[in-house]
């Protein structure tokens, strides 16, 4: 029987253990806010808002006073680990042995799990914000209307419609610097949206279309031998090579 009790601590004591850990973490949090001169509510709000700044290469947490957020989390973890370790030793004999006999490393693992749950709660709030922002950005029938890709998508779609999606090779002309962002991303996305009209020399055939994109006064720059076929606006047009 005793072994069963040892591996299955009562829910009520587990709750007390959790409350103690959370209390120490809260105290550590308030102390850190006091030292840094921040209002606890403000920091909590900032953490929730910035806990899911999604990026395909790396997600950064915010820096508070030059140090990344996890540095403070580790301080809290250490404080809670030593605090709860000390309390279980002080109250040894009055609490179940599976708590009082626990090593400091064991407390450390439990405290980290509690912190992971807290970060998850923050992250869920961040995900909700991200969800709403993303939903607002990719809406409408074309999906890209409110996103930074709306312009290349619209122009490319108009060109494709004009050329009836023929697999033609084109010469790309623009005022943008396509070797550096933001021009590089805009060029790549424009090429993606424009395909099967090819401006990245995939077909390796004679280039029969001159594709102007964000080229000021493009009509005056049409190369010799080409004739304007379709004009989207002053800076965007396509010209076809004359036979």
Partner 1 sequence: MSTFLVFLLLLLPLTVGSLLVSWFSRRNPLPLPLTMALGFGAGTGVLTHLFVILNYIELPHRLAMVTVLLGCLGVLLAWLMFVNRNDRRPPISFGPRPRPDIINISLGLFILYLLSFIFWNGYSTPIHSWDTLSTMGFKAKIIYYSQFLDYIPRFGKFDYPLHLPTLMAWTAHGSGGWDDTLVKIIFPLYCLAFSVVLFYTLRMLTNGRWAVAGVALLFSSGFFVYHATIAYRDMTMMYFNCSCILLILLWQKSDYRIALSLAALFSGFTTFIKLEGFGYLGMHNMLVLAILTFDRKLTLPEKFRRQLIFSVVSIGIYAVFAVFKKTQILPNVPDWRVVATHFDLNRVSVSLGVESLQRVNVVIQRYLENMFLSGNWNLIWALFAASCLRLERWAQSATLRYLILYLTMYFGIYLAAYSLTQHYYWVADKYDVMSRSLLHIWPLIIAATCILNHQPPSAPDAD
DSSP 75-109: HHHHHHHHHHHHHHHHTBTTB-HHHHT--HHHHHH
149 binds partner 1 (CB under 8 A): yes
Taking Cα atoms as reference points, which of 220, 243, 239 lies closest to residue 231? 239
Nearer Cβ to partner 1, position 69 or 79?
69
200 binds partner 1 (CB under 8 A): yes
- Residue 113: CB minimum distance to partner 1, A: 7
For the chain, what is the radius of gyration of the CA atoms?
Answer: 30
Residue 139 is given by DSSP the state -
Residue from 18, 30, 90, 124 in contact with partner 1 (CB under 8 A)? 124
Three-class SS of residue 174?
A: coil
Q: Considering only residues 10-49, where is the footprint of partner 1 by CB under 8 A? A: none
> Number of helices and strands (H, E) in the chain?
8, 6
Residue from 13, 36, 65, 68 in contact with partner 1 (CB under 8 A)? 68
What number of CA atoms fall less than 13 Å from residue 143's CA on the CB side?
3
Binding site for partner 1 (CB under 8 A): 7, 51-61, 68-71, 73-74, 77, 105, 108-109, 112-113, 115-116, 119-120, 123-124, 126-127, 131, 134-135, 137-138, 143-144, 147, 149, 167, 185, 188-189, 191-192, 195-196, 200-204
């Amino acid at each position: 029987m005793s072994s069963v009790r040892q591996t299955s601590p009562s829910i009520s004591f587990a709750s007390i253990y959790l409350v103690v850990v959370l209390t120490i973490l809260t105290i550590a949090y308030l102390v850190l806010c006091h030292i840094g001169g921040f209002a606890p509510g403000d920091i909590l709000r900032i953490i929730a808002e910035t806990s899911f700044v999604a990026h395909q290469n790396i997600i950064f947490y915010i820096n508070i006073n030059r140090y990344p957020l996890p540095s403070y989390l580790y301080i809290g973890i250490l404080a809670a680990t030593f605090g709860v370790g000390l309390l279980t030793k002080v109250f040894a004999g009055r609490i179940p042995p599976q708590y009082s006999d626990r090593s400091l490393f064991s407390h450390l693992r439990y405290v980290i799990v509690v912190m992971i749950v807290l970060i998850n709660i923050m992250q869920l709030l961040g995900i909700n914000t991200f969800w709403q922002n993303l939903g607002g950005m990719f809406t409408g029938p074309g999906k890209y209307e409110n996103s930074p890709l709306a312009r290349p998508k619209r122009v490319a779609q108009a060109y494709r419609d004009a050329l009836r999606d023929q697999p033609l090779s084109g010469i790309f002309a623009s005022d943008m610097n396509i070797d550096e962002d933001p021009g590089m991303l805009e060029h790549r996305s424009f090429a993606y949206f424009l395909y099967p009209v090819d401006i990245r020399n995939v077909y390796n055939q004679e280039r029969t279309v001159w594709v102007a994109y964000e080229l000021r006064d493009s009509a005056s720059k049409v190369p010799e031998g080409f004739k304007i076929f379709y004009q989207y606006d002053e800076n965007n047009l396509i010209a076809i090579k004359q036979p």
